[in-house]
Structure 1
């Protein structure tokens, strides 16, 4: 109890509160710009933390990341350009709501369920950190292989309007993921003699190109039409909160649980959680035909999931020093610099510091509602700006984001190439989301497959000889059986 009172004293000082508020505004600004990710925002804060005490330093990181993940929903909803990769899973859904004149409902759902998801993940972090971290550490390469397969299976659901085209998009993403030296043998693949390609295709410029640059190209090719068919006024975002909570509470809880479960697995993070939860929502919805046309149900589950994953990723980071995602990997470095070595001893010798971090998590998610509302009000100006002016400005921000990903012009080239790819894919009704999923999960799948085969001396039985791996394999088989059965049944109904 003494440690809890000390934690309140550490957090509720003007220095910490000022730092947290400033970091929140910075995270909102970065997240709302297409291409500038939450990881990038957190990394940009690292030099400043060298001049801070430990609590405000960690607080700035926590708040900035949470705000950036949410803020990525704003340009995705208003312009169909996700600010962060975690927003990409449901960008098309949110933008479809805007085109229907429901921008305020979409943004209201993003604010509310992002905050609730973050609070749920924080509660799990507070009450179940040791047990959950221990469970995550029991995963080996077999379990990660099946998790990656489950993630790729989600691409089928995301592209379920046309499974064949969804599979084509997924295969393009997997092909992109094979470029470079990131394989067991270290042999260059598809590099064509380029030293830049040896490091593989950078995901950030690719994502910027596929979503943002392709949209700029499409808009300019259409002659930069006005926003007449889009609701310019974003009204009261709080108006339908009660109705959404009453109607979609099951989806919210499912998204929270899914995001938390994925977040505690090292390397998964909010991006994967958003894709998986959106796919689950579509698969088990009573009205799946509404998805892709502007349906808030998918937004509820996915936004609940990505912020829950962001909080729960700190479970293995704080308890065992294993980063749950790229953001916690950066923060672990800051903790070491500040003398707060993550691990079980941190809970024993510095409990007040752990409680202070928990309080900052709660504070950050509560701040998300008023600050998010303020930024949404300011973002309304995006839809009042003529497209002929706005699109070149967005393209400049995209170029800056692509260059900043590796401080080289190579990122800009990747962005432009994938912009053309995204433009031609959408012109032929090939969805982009499965391609993104293939790029992200492809390396994880290959690495864990090769590792497992080396450990087992080539025996395929080792993929199912562990209890958790066997359960995941059975779950995957059941999912595919369900998909094939529903497809067969629809064909039979169509023939009769």
Structure 2
């Protein structure tokens, strides 16, 4: 109790609360600007945290990451440009709803689901983080291989239109993931003698090119005004949110749970959580045909998984010092710098600082409500600003965002090249989202497979020798066989309409 009261005193003081408020505004700005990401926002904060006390420094990072993940949906809704990679899974749903005049309704529902997911993940972090981290550490290369395949399969499963084109788009992303040094031999692959490509291709410039630059080129290539977002006078922020939550409360709980569990897996994070949650929601929905046409159910699933995944990623980071995602990888360095050594002893030695960290999570998610509401109200600037003025500004931010990741001009050229390729693919109705996920998960898939083969001496049966890996493998294979099984069922068990209509 003394440690808890000390944590309250560390958080609820003027300095910490002002830092939280400022970090929330900063996170909204960075997340809402296409080309800037939550990871970049946290990285920019690190030099500033050198001059802060421990609690305000951690509070700034937690608040900024949570707000940036939510704010990434604002440009996705209005411009079809996801602000963060986690928003790419359902950016199509958000933008189609906005074009129906439901932009604020979509963002309001998104905000409430993000807050719920963040609070849910925080409760898990507080009460069962050691247990959940133990489960996460039981994941070996075999489980990560199947988890990567599950994510890749989900991207094809949720794609709208031709599954063949979605598969080819996924293959393009996987091809990009092979650029760099081979993990086995150390041989450069597809680097063309460019040293900056030795470390591989970062997915941020690729995402900017595929979505932002593609959208800019599409605007200048076509003056179709139907793509513009319409505004309804009755488009209130929270007007229909309670009704959506009552109708889709199961989706909200499932997305939050799934996001926390996947976020707790080292290296997974909110990006994969959003994809898998969206795919699972679609598979269990009674209105599958509405997905891809602007359906709020998909927003509830994925947006709740986003922010719960952020909290879940702190579980292995705090308990074992293993980063759950790119954000917590940065955070671990800040924790060491502030004297909070991540590991099993942090709960014994951290004292009030640990409780202060937990309280900060609750405060950061609760402050998201007023700051997020103001951000949604102010986001009308995306509609009022003429696109011929808005697009050049976005292009400038895209160039800055691509360059700032590794401080190299190669990423800018990569963004431009991928953007031109994406423009051609989009004209041929190829979905862009599977390519992004292919790039994100490609290295995980390859490294897990090669590590597993080395450990097992080339025995493929080792991939199903463990209970968790066997279960994940069965799930992946079932997803692959679902179209064939459905087709066979319809062929051998046809439904005769005249039988149903005939009186008994």
Relative to structure 1, the CA distance from residue 333 to residue 413 in structure 2 (aligned partners, 3 Å threshold; closer, same or farther) is same
CA contact (8 A) 2:101 2:235 kept: no
Spell out structure 1 runs of 4+ moving beyond 4 A.
224-229, 487-496
Normalised to the residue count of structure 1, the TM-score between the two structures is: 0.97
Question: What pairs up with 1:147-166 in 2 under 5 angstroms?
Answer: 147-166=147-166
| Segment drifting more, 475-484 vs 8-17 | 475-484
Aligned to 1:38: 38
Note if 1:16 corresponds to 2:24.
no
Whether 2:343 is the aligned partner of 1:338: answer: no
> How far off is 1:462 after superposition?
1.3
Give me the whole-angstrom Cα distance separating, in 1, the residues matched to 2:475 and 2:469: 10
Task: State whether residues 232 and 380 of structure 1, in contact with CA within 8 Å, keep that contact through their aligned partners in structure 2.
Answer: no
Residues 234 and 107 of structure 1: CA distance in aligned 2, closer, same or farther (over 3 Å): farther
Equivalent residue of 2:184, what SS? coil
- The answer to whether 1:2 aligns with 2:10 is no
Partner of 1:383: 383
* Two-structure CA RMSD over aligned residues (Å): 1.8
Match of 1:82 in 2: 82
Question: Which residue does the alignment assign to 2:293?
Answer: 293
Alignment check: 8 A CA contact 2:174 2:435 kept: yes
Distance 2:418 2:488 in 1: 35
Taking structure 1 as reference, are residues 222 and 440 closer, same or farther at Cα in structure 2, changes over 3 Å only?
Answer: same
How many angstroms apart in 2 are the aligned matches of 1:446 and 1:494?
Answer: 44
Measure the CA separation in 1 of the matches of 2:490 and 2:159.
17
State the match for 1:418 in structure 2: 418
Where 2:188 maps in the other structure, the secondary structure is coil
Matched, 1:406 2:402: no
Q: Say whether the 8 Å CA contact 1:104–1:234 is kept in structure 2.
A: no
Provide, for residues 242-285 of structure 1, a one-character-per-residue CA deviation record: whole Å limited to 9, x for no partner: 10111000110110111011000000000111111111111221
Match of 1:276 in 2: 276
The more displaced of 212-221 and 101-110 is 101-110
Look up the match of 1:27: 27
Aligned residues between the structures: 496
The offset of 1:298, in angstroms, is 0.2
Q: Is the 8 A contact 1:146 1:472 kept in 2?
A: yes
In structure 2, relative to structure 1, the CA distance for the partners of 1:7 and 1:362 (3 Å cut) is same
Q: Deviations over 1:60-94 (max 9, x none)?
A: 11000000000000010011111111111111110
Q: Which residue of 2 aligns with 1:266?
A: 266
- Where in structure 2 are the equivalents of 1:154-303 lying within 5 Å? 154-223=154-223, 225=225, 230-231=230-231, 235-303=235-303
1:457–1:95 distance in 2 versus 1, CA, 3 Å: same
- 5+ unaligned residues in a row in structure 1: which ranges? none
Question: CA 1:91 to 1:229, structure 2 compared with 1: closer, same or farther past 3 Å?
Answer: closer
Query: Which residue does the alignment assign to 1:463?
Result: 463
Rounded to whole Å, the distance in 2 between the matches of 1:306 and 1:373 is 18
268-277 or 456-465: which moved more? 456-465
Per the alignment, residue 373 of structure 1 pairs with 373
Could you report, residue by residue, the CA deviation over 1:4-45 in whole angstroms, capped at 9, with x for unpaired residues?
111111100101101111111111110001121101000100
Q: Which runs of 5+ in 2 are unaligned?
A: 498-504
1:490 to partner: Cα distance: 6.0
Cα distance change of structure 1 residues 230 and 490 upon mapping to structure 2, 3 Å threshold: farther
> What is the CA–CA distance in structure 2 between the aligned matches of 1:61 and 1:6, rounded to whole Å?
21
Distance in 2 between the 1:456 and 1:88 partners? 36
Instruction: Tell me, in whole angstroms, the C-alpha distance in 2 between the residues paired with 1:224 and 1:156.
Output: 28
Mean Cα displacement is larger for which, 176-185 or 70-79?
176-185
Kindly provide the CA deviation profile for residues 311-350 of structure 1, in whole angstroms up to 9, marking residues without a partner as x: 0110111111111111111111001011110112110122
- The 3-state SS of whatever aligns with 1:199 is coil
Tell me how far apart the structure 1 counterparts of residues 490 and 266 of structure 2 sit (CA, whole Å).
Answer: 39
